[in-house]
Structure 1
Amino acid sequence: MAVRVQREAFDVAEEIRLLTEGRTDVGGIVTFTGLVRGEAGGRALQTLTLEHYPGMTELELGRIDDEARERFGLTGSLVVHRFGELKPGDPIVLVITLSAHRRAAFEAAEFLMDYLKSRAPFWKKESFADGTETWVDERASDGAALARWTGASLTEK
C-alpha cells in the first residue's frame, strides 16, 4: 500500500527519489503538495488540527490509491497525509503519481486529491487567535469536484 498517515513533515524530493530510484518505466511524475492556508472564512487561522482513526484511515486511503493505480494505469503512487496540530504554511498532504505518460499521472493526481478533499476520514478543527474553534464541514465545491469521477468506483460506496 502506498499511503502513509503521519504526524511528521515530509520531504517531497526524498519521496520522489525513493519512488523512482532505479526505474526506467516512468515517463511522467506529478506531485501535489497541499499547505495549511493562513485564513479560513476570512479570519486569520492560528492552527488546524486533524484527527483520524488509525488503521481505518490508512485502509480507506489505500482503497482509493489502489483504484487510482488501476483506473489510470499508474506505475507507482504515494499519498502522505499528516495529522495533529498544524500551523499556516505547514505541508499537510502529498500526492505523487508515476506513469509512462503525463496525462495519466495528471489525471490520477486530480482524482486522488478530489477524493481526499471530500471523502478521506479526517476530522479538521480550525482554531483562531480569539480562542474560537470550528469543526470543518465538507465544501460543496469539493463534492462537485468528486462528482466528475463517478462510475463504477469506490468513491460511490
Structure 2
Amino acid sequence: MRTSLRVAAYAVLVDDGRILLSRLVPHLRDQSVAGRWTLPGGGTDPGEDPFDTVVREVEEETGHLSRMAALLGVDSQQRGDLHTVRVLYEGEITGGALRAEPHGSTDLAAWHPLEAVANLARVELVDLALRLWRERPAVGHLPKTSPR
C-alpha cells in the first residue's frame, strides 16, 4: 500500500461570538462528510505555502478577504492510504462579502454562534480547531482523543 501525503491549511475565524464555517458538498471519495460543516480551508497547490493557501481558500469558500493573525497548531491524521497534515491558523476578516463557493467543495458559508457548534453536523476538524483556539497549547499540538 502506497501512502499519499496531503498538506492542507484552515482558518479559525471567530468574530463577536460567532465562527465562520463552510458546508461540504458530497465527495466521491468520502460520502461520510457530505453536508457537514468544516473550517474554511483546503489543500495546498504544488509549490504553494500553507499561509497563502488558507487566505486563498477563505476567499474561495466564503467570499471574504482575510488576514491570518496567529498559527494555532498543526495536526496529522492517517486514514487508509492518505496521510493529511493540517495547519490551523487564527484569522480575521478584512473585507469581501459572505457568499457560497461557486462550483467547489463547499456549497454554503455561514456564521454560527460558538455555543451552537456542538449541535451542528460537523467534521472533527472543527472541534480540534476550537480546542486549539481556546487552549492555545505552547507547542501547537493537542493529544489525540477518541472520536466523538
TM-score (normalised: structure 1): 0.24
Structure with the higher fraction of residues in strand conformation: 2
Q: Which has the larger radius of gyration?
A: 1
